[in-house]
Amino acid sequence: MAEGGSLRNRTRFGSRSNETMNHVDYPDDNYVEEIQLNSDTEVMEKPCPIQIVLAHEDDHNFELDETALESILMQEHIRDLNVVVLSVAGAFRKGKSFLLDFMLRFMYSQSSSSWIGGDYEPLTGFTWRGGCERETTGIQIWSEVFVVEKPDGSKVAVMLMDTQGAFDSQSTIKDCATVFALSTMTSSVQVYNLSQNIQEDDLQHLQLFTEYGRLAMEEIYKKPFQTLMFLIRDWSYPYEHTYGLKGGNSFLEKRLQVKQNQHEELQNVRKHIHSCFTNIGCFLLPHPGLKVATNPYFDGRLAEIDDEFKKELRELVPLLLAPENLVEKEISGSKVTCRDLLEYFKAYIKIYQGEELPHPKSMLQATAEANNMAAVAGAKDTYSRSMEQVCGGDKPYIAPSDLERKHLDLKESCIKQFRSVKKMGGEEFCRRYQDQLEAEIEESYANFIKHNDGKNIFYAARTPATLFAVMFAMYIISGLTGFIGMNSIATICNLIMGLALLSFCTWAYVKYSGEFRELGTLIDQIAEIIWEQRSPKKVFSKLFEVCKRRVPRVALTSALRHRIPTNNNRKKY
């Protein structure tokens, strides 16, 4: 038994726990070995469910309690044994924990034919209760791992796992998918607990959850999971398919059959389920009785449960947990020990805590997104086709102002088209896609502008014309400033003229050879910046301002030099 101080987040037994554990005995037989208590373990500590995956409702994230899990799986007598993990998953308030407690009775009393217990013994183990609110959150395992000897003489460790119910009012689709996928990835037998029937939405959710797990395991082509057992509770049609495994498999075969006249979507769901699991079965379980369903004080006593339910329960539990039926956990074809399982838990929880996996979405959200994306695509296609009629490849150059006016008219028309399409998701949800449409239209407009400018012969000659203008201007300014003695400015102008000439030669080579395209693009951008100033005055305004400040200063200095000797001569005279 693990040390009491190291097990966190336990679900403690209340006043019922002392009473309810009285029926549990630990027989000395060939199948189940009692887990020995260490000397430093609290003697009064009794087996109980341990929370190993914690659900954080505030940020809808999950955390692995490594300390609790390690204290269970790393016990010396089990850590190197191959592990059998039986998990029960499904919608909330459908009796998963209730079923697991009967499995606990079987594991503690395998040598006895009366393992199911006495008529007046309360049912204990994993916490459960009647009502409509959820009980289990995250993932729990039973603190005692059972060592079972199989018929071939090998010993395995059997672990029972309880999971948070899906589709309650506080869980997102991502929460449900994470819990189901994580339990399926780590279990050797996944019991899919359903009520009354296998509906098509049950299969679709199973497809979503298993794909979420397969994506995390990076097993795209092989069957990543082992055994899936559909457990149909409250089965009401025994006249069509009898209770138990035989009737269940017959029913399941019809439900998962791929027919030629089925819609492709329905065929894909069934093919996907078959591609995920090595073995698939089904068990039909009757309703436990009205006393169970309507009595708020029902505590699991067999006396209040219908005989038909107890009869089928005696078949179901050994079918899953009898030594000859145990399925050892395998990953990628290799059997997993308790020590290995701890590492797999750590690795898998990190995947679901990160952002590598896409977030699963509800059917409404996925449909609304597809609906809005289709409306965006349709409106954008209308815009592109209309703009092609205005400035397409075979159309002549159009004035930029006319192109902009046509763009604004088409943009408004396409937004109206988007709004007129019936869409799901509501106004706020659709607004995001309208903003996306507007952004994509503006991006397309920028491309049409470039395409239209390419048809302008003057636009094609813009770069060489700009460079020639710079060279000519620098030549004139250099001559003028050199003539009046401003040699530093003349030198700068000559340098700029040389750079412009070098840029022109480089640009011509790029256009001719197609090499160094990035450099050619840079030269075009610089020339465009100069060209867009629209007038030489703006381009060279700063240079002219400098010249205006420098010319009077130099002229004044030169005049003073000539006047000073003349004045001196006059004074001497």
- pLDDT at residue number 411: 93
What range defines the domain where residue 520 resides?
Answer: 461-572
In DSSP notation, 365-426 reads HHHHHHHHHHHHHHHHHHHHHHHHHHH-TTSPP--HHHHHHHHHHHHHHHHHHHHHS--SS-
| List of the chain residues with pLDDT < 70 | 1-45, 58-60, 92-95, 111, 127-137, 165-171, 216-221, 297, 300, 354-367, 456-460, 531-573
To which residue do tokens 């609290």 refer? Answer: 42
pLDDT tens digits for range 38-78: 433 433 368 888 888 887 776 667 788 889 889 899 998 98
- Coil, strand or helix at 301: coil
pTM value is 0.61
CA distance 260 to 557: 102
Query: Both 467 and 432 in a single domain?
Result: no
Calpha distance 165→174 (Å, rounded): 13
Looking up residue 98, the CATH number of its domain turns out to be: 3.40.50.300
Is the domain of 538 the same as that of 433? no
Domains contained in the chain, number: 3
Q: Which pLDDT does position 386 carry in this prediction?
A: 92
> Is 557 found in the same domain as 526?
yes
The domain that holds 442 is classified in CATH as: 1.20.58.420
| Domain shared by 149 and 221, yes or no | yes
In terms of domains, do 479 and 544 share one?
yes
For residues 340 and 452, state if they share a domain. Answer: no
The predicted-structure confidence for 552-567, as pLDDT tens digits, reads as follows: 544 444 444 444 444 4
Q: Are residues 376 and 343 in the same domain?
A: no
The domain boundary residue, chosen from 398, 431, 458: 458
Examine the domain organization and report whether 226 and 355 are in the same domain.
yes
Residue 282 contacts residue 249 (beta carbons within 8 Å): yes
- Which residue, of 458, 492, 518, is where some domain finishes? 458
Do 321 and 376 fall into the same domain? no
Q: Which residues contact 568 (CB under 8 A, 6 or more apart)?
A: none
Q: Are 183 and 272 part of one and the same domain?
A: yes
The terminus-to-terminus CA distance of the chain in angstroms comes to: 127
Q: Is residue 192 domain-shared with residue 312, that is, in the same domain?
A: yes
Give the helix/strand (H/E) hosting 142.
Answer: strand 139-142
Which residues, 6+ apart, have CB-to-CB distance to 189 below 8 Å?
84, 85, 86, 87, 226, 227, 229, 320, 327
* Same domain flag for 130 and 218: yes
* Contact in structure between 414 and 441 (CB atoms under 8 Å): yes
Q: Domain boundary at 360, 392, 426, which? A: 360
